[in-house]
Amino acid sequence: IAQPAALAVANARLMRKVEEDAQQRAELSRFLSPALVEKVVSNELNVAKQGDKVQATVLFSDIRGFTTISDGAAPEAVVSMLNEYFEAMVEIVFEFGGTLDKFIGDGLMAVWGTPVPGPDDPVLAVRAATRMRLLLETTVNRARTGRGEPPLAAGYGIATGKVIAGAMGARRRQDFTVIGDTVNLASRI
């Protein structure tokens, strides 16, 4: 009796661990590239709960004239436009090894240098912005004009410097993010 019971308990624990890992992967994949997600899940990388002062490169991208474009538009059309834009831009962030920090209205914030620093982080951020601009013209705007919609324009701000990185928020909800003068500078550029 004990052996089947022990086996059932072990199987239940294993299933719980598999479910927890899948949930963690799903949550992390919203922000990190697939390679970083696997490192976090396998405990090769610790996304610090406390703040760390690190060198990072921050990229902001936002749609120019968004208020004018969205004024009078149906809410579904605005959401669809933003989702189409973000879908393309986030893939580029991940392609160049960045971390999606957050969406801010019609813009996004991405970071290079945390949680994993690299010697080419500033170059990768610039390459990502260059690719974003190209993809906006060749893919997003081509699809929009093909549907009779006006093309979008976007602005990009990039700054490199010291930031404080860590999980921030409230007890019930925290996000890994960065704060500091470098973030403010990138947002103003």
Tens digit of each residue's pLDDT (9 = 90 or more) over 13-33? 777 777 777 776 777 666 565
Closest CA to 81 of 67, 93, 94: 67
Mean pLDDT for the chain overall: 87
- The whole-number average pLDDT for the span 30-46 is 64
Which secondary-structure segment (H or E) carries 112?
A: strand 107-112
Instruction: Say which DSSP state 186 is in.
Output: H
- The whole-number average pLDDT for the span 71-85 is 93
Strand, coil or helix: what is 52? Answer: strand
Token digits for 9? Answer: 């308990």
**Rg (the chain; Cα; Å):** 20
Cα four-point dihedral sign 149, 96, 110, 47:
positive
pTM (two decimals): 0.78
